[in-house]
Structure 1
Amino acid sequence: MLELGQGDAAQAGASAGDLIKEVSEATFMTEVVDASMTVPVIVDFWAPWCGPCKTLGPALEAAVTAAGGAVKMAKINVDENQAIAGQMRVQSIPTVYAFWQGQPVDGFQGALPPSEIDAFVTRVIEAGGGAAPDNGLDDALTAAEEMLSEGDAESAGETFAAIIEQDQTIVAAFGGLARANIAMGALDQAEAVLNGTPAEFSDAPEIEAAYAQLELARQAENAGPVAELRAAVDADPGNHEARLDLAQALHAAGEVEAAVAELLELFRRDREWNDGAAKTQLFTIFDALPANDPVVLNGRRKLSSMIFA
C-alpha cells in the first residue's frame, strides 16, 4: 500500500490543489513539462463519459495526495484538449503517463487495481530520485475533509472511496464517504456505506456521527415550514408535537442553536413526553456535531443542569 511520504516540510504540507491540477493545452508546458524538471508529474488523460476514468482518477489522486508532494498530477480532458492527446498518441482512455525532467518515463492504459496504482506511483517517485513514502494516508484524508468542508462533496466522496480501496482499516474514510453522500443528498447510498462499514468500527465516533447526520437529513426531507410551526407553538406553548416539529424544521434550515433551544424548552416542560423525544433529538444533534462545538458544549451544560436540578 502506498503511504504518506516524509519529504521536506514544504512538500509534506502541500494541499491537494497544489498537487493535482486540471491542465489544458495552454498550460501543459508549464504544469507538466516545466514542473517535471523538479518533481515527477503523472498525467491522467480522461473524459467525462469514460467509465473506467471515474474509478482510476480518484484512486490516482488519493495516491498522489498520500505521497505528500513527492509527485504531482495533471488531469487532461481529452475532449477539450485533442491536440495534446494526439501529440501523446493517446488512442484509448484512461491513459496515464509519468513525466520526469520533461520526458515521459512510464505509463499505462486502462484502469488498475489499487496495489498496481501504488506500485506505479512508487516507481515514478523513485524515478525522480525520491524515496518511497512511508507515513500513511493522512494527507489524503485531510484533503478529502477540506474538499467536503469547501462544498465539493463529489470530489471528497471520490477521495474517501479511493482511500477505502487502499486501506479498509481507516474508519474516518467510511464516515467521510457517508457524510459526502449525505451532502449530495444521496441518503440511501450514505446508509449503504454505513451498513457496509466493518463491524468492529460500528461504535466508532466517526460512524456514530455519520449515522446522526443521516437521521437528521432524513428528518429534513419531511420538515414543515418554520413560520407555520412557530405560529403553532406561539398559539399553544403546550403543543409538544408542534415544538418538536419546529426544532426539526429549524435544524433543517441550518438554525442549529435555535433548534437546540426549542428542544431544551420541550425537555423542561415534559422530559418524559413521547419516550423522552426531546432528549433523544438533542443527543442526535450533539452526536452529529464535533464534540467541541459551542452549540454542543452549551447545550449539554444546559441539559445537565435540568437533569440534575
Structure 2
Amino acid sequence: MLADTQAQADSLVKDTTTAAFRQDVLAESMQQPVLVDFWAPWCGPCKQLGPIIEKAVKAAGGKVKLVKLNIDDHPQIPGQLGIQSIPAVVAFNRGQPADGFVGALPESQVTAFIERLVGPLGPGAVGEILEEADQLVASGDPAGAAQLYAEALGQEPDNIRAIAALAKLHLEMGDLDAAKQFLAMVPADKANDAAIAAARAAIELAEQAASLGDLGDLEQRLAANPLDHQTRFDLALALNAHGKREEAGDHLLEIIKRDRAWNDDGARKQLLQFFEAWGPTDEATLAGRRRLSSILFA
C-alpha cells in the first residue's frame, strides 16, 4: 500500500530530456494538461518554485501533470520555445502550448494558474475523501478505507490525518513495518500532532505486546495469583493488542485501585498511553477516564 501511494504521487511529476519531450509532454498532453517547468540547478527562484508547483500539481489529483526540464543539460527545447528567463512554466494542452508564466509565484497563484486550465479544483475534495474513508473504517472495511486514505495522500503527501490513519490501519492489519514507514513520512514540524502521537503510541504498544507471549498463559498465571501486578500489567498490554480495550483498561485500573504506587505509578502511566493511542473520543477512553477519576479522587 505504501508503494502504491508513493507511485500515485510520483506519476504526476517527472523529469524529462530532449529525446523524451515528445512523449512526456506532447503525447501526454493529449490526455490532460502538462506543465513544463524549465529550471537550472544554479537558479535560486527555481528552487523556490519547485516544491510549490509540485504540491499544487499533486493537489489537483491527476487533472494535470508536471514535467521538469533542466535547461543546462537540455537547451534545445527551451531554445526552440524562446525561453529567455527561468523559472518558466509552460502549460501544454492537446500537444500545443496553452498558457504559461515566468518567475517564482506563490502557491495561491500557481493554483489559480492550474484552475484556469482544468477548472475549479474543489478545496473540499481531499476532506470529502477522508470523510468517506473514516466511514469505511467505522463500517468495518479497512482495505477500502486504506485505498481512500492513500488517494488523499496522493493529492496531499503531507496530510497528517491520512498518514496517521494509514499507520493505524496497517498496524491493525498486522503490518508493523508499514505502519512505521508511514510515520516516517511525517514532517518534523508536525511530529507532535495529536493524530500522529496516537498512531505512535499505538505502534509502541504493539511492540511492547509482541514479546509477552500467549494470552491464555497470562490469564492462567493471573488466576493463580491475583496479586501478581506484573502479570496483570502484561495481560493488559496483550489484551489491548488483541483489540480488547475495555478489558485491558480494567486490569490497569485494578492495579491502580490495589496499589497506586506499584512500579512508580506504572499502571496509571500505561493507562494514559492507552488513552492516547485509542483517541480522546473512543468509548473505551471515555469510560476509562471516568473510572480513573473515581479511583483517584474518591
TM range (shorter): 0.5 to 0.7
Opposite residue 212 of structure 1, the aligned amino acid is A
Q: How does 1:118-267 map to 2 (within 5 A)?
A: 118=60, 121=63, 131-135=120-124, 137-149=126-138, 150-152=141-143, 154-156=146-148, 158-165=150-157, 168=158, 170-267=159-256
CA contact (8 A) 2:5 2:153 kept: no
Residue of structure 2 equivalent to 1:80: none
Structure exhibiting the larger radius of gyration computed from Cα positions: 2
Residue of structure 2 equivalent to 1:89: none
Q: What secondary structure is seen at the aligned counterpart in 2 of 1:292?
A: coil
Deviation per residue, 1:250-306 (Å, 9 max, x gap): 222222111111110011111221222211221121112232222111111111121
Opposite residue 228 of structure 2, the aligned amino acid is N
CA contact (8 A) 2:130 2:162 kept: yes
TM-score by length of 1: 0.57
Deviation per residue, 1:223-263 (Å, 9 max, x gap): 43222222211211111111111112222222211111111
RMSD (CA atoms): 3.9
For residues 120 and 173 of structure 1, the distance between their equivalents in structure 2, rounded to whole angstroms, comes to: 18
Q: How does 1:99-110 map to 2 (within 5 A)?
A: 106-107=31-32
- 1:97 Cα offset (Å): 8.8
In 2 relative to 1, CA 157–55 (structure 1 residues): closer, same or farther, beyond 3 Å?
A: same
In 2 relative to 1, CA 193–241 (structure 1 residues): closer, same or farther, beyond 3 Å?
A: same
CA contact (8 A) 2:221 2:231 kept: yes
Q: What secondary structure is seen at the aligned counterpart in 1 of 2:122?
A: coil
Aligned pair 1:56/2:48, yes or no?
no
Number of residue pairs aligned between Structure 1 and Structure 2 = 215
For residues 266 and 244 of structure 2, the distance between their equivalents in structure 1, rounded to whole angstroms, comes to: 19
Deviation per residue, 1:33-87 (Å, 9 max, x gap): xxxxxxxxxxxxxxxxxx8997138978xxxxxxxxxxxxxxxxxxxxxxxxxxx
In 2 relative to 1, CA 212–229 (structure 1 residues): closer, same or farther, beyond 3 Å?
A: same
For residues 267 and 230 of structure 1, the distance between their equivalents in structure 2, rounded to whole angstroms, comes to: 19
Residue of structure 1 equivalent to 2:289: 300
Opposite residue 7 of structure 2, the aligned amino acid is T
CA contact (8 A) 1:164 1:174 kept: no
TM-score by length of 2: 0.59
CA contact (8 A) 1:59 1:162 kept: no
In 2 relative to 1, CA 119–230 (structure 1 residues): closer, same or farther, beyond 3 Å?
A: closer
Opposite residue 56 of structure 1, the aligned amino acid is Q
Residue of structure 1 equivalent to 2:37: none
Query: Which blocks of at least 5 consecutive residues in structure 1 are unaligned?
Result: 1-50, 61-91, 99-104
- 1:126 Cα offset (Å): 8.0
CA contact (8 A) 1:260 1:299 kept: yes
CA contact (8 A) 1:157 1:176 kept: yes
Q: How does 1:52-131 map to 2 (within 5 A)?
A: 55-56=7-8, 106-107=31-32, 115-116=56-57, 118=60, 121=63, 131=120
Deviation per residue, 1:94-136 (Å, 9 max, x gap): xx999xxxxxx73489xxx664463861689989996442446
CA contact (8 A) 2:129 2:148 kept: no
Deviation per residue, 1:126-179 (Å, 9 max, x gap): 8999644244621232234345551216525533531442xx3x3212312322
